[in-house]
Amino acid sequence: MKRIVVLISGRGSNLKALLEAGLPVAAVISNQPDAGGLAIARAHGAATAVIDHRQYSGRDAFDAALASAIDSFQPDLVVLAGFMRILTAGFVERYAQRLINIHPSLLPAFTGLDTHRRALEAGVKLHGCTVHFVTAALDHGPIIAQAAVPVLAGDDEATLAARVLKQEHRVFPAAVRWFLEGRLTIDGMRVRVDAPVEPLAALRAPEAA
């Protein structure tokens, strides 16, 4: 069976979606000892580990320790599910084409932090989330799937974030499953998805389960 290692920093809502989808999460690693997602992982029988970035002299030392912990579980895929650390180019290269992230915007718009606030300030009519392969360029890797939601007149950051998060919990497990099933082909910055098409209430690309 294929194995996933999930990296988190916080509450673990996307981790929970992956676990509840029945995906083979072998281990969950956090850079924050008090991350709520660690308890979720243990409740689902996944191994856990903490690599506290504050205990290391710099990014290279932290990433080396993190990679050692990941490799001990021999994963086929490493998933960033709210992992709030910028990874070094060497780390990204180590897991090239088997490192996936979810970002709360329709990339390439609103890379980085505070995406919902920035979307509201920009006056966009559609916002959403993106699952993509990780490259050394922050939030710029080949896009696997996206889900879009409307920005409503009365939205604030909290209401918009909640609407996007609901779609994150749908599109992220689907994208991870496609990887594990060998349905993804990377062609430059494009990702071809061999997946069944199914109509959905939300706008998603590809529209697949």
pLDDT tens track for 11-44: 999 999 999 999 999 999 999 999 999 999 999 9
pTM greater than the 0.85 cutoff? yes
169 tagged catalytic: no
- Sequence-separated (6 or more) residues with CB below 8 Å from residue 173: 17, 18, 21, 23
pLDDT tens track for 138-150: 999 999 999 999 9
Whether the predicted pLDDT of 121 surpasses 60: yes
Distances from the Cα of 167 to the Cαs of 14, 35, 127, 138, in angstroms?
10, 22, 11, 22
Smallest Cα–Cα separation from 78: which of 187, 157, 160, 3?
3
- Determine whether 48 is exposed, middle or buried from the number of CB atoms within 10 Å of its CB (0-12, 13-18, 19+): middle
> Which domains occur in the chain, in start order?
1-95 (3.40.50.170), 103-209 (3.40.50.170)
pLDDT tens track for 42-74: 999 999 999 999 999 999 999 999 999 999 999
Give the position of tokens 């988190």. 8
Whether the predicted pLDDT of 196 surpasses 90: no
Q: Catalytic residue among 44, 53, 103, 127, which? A: 103
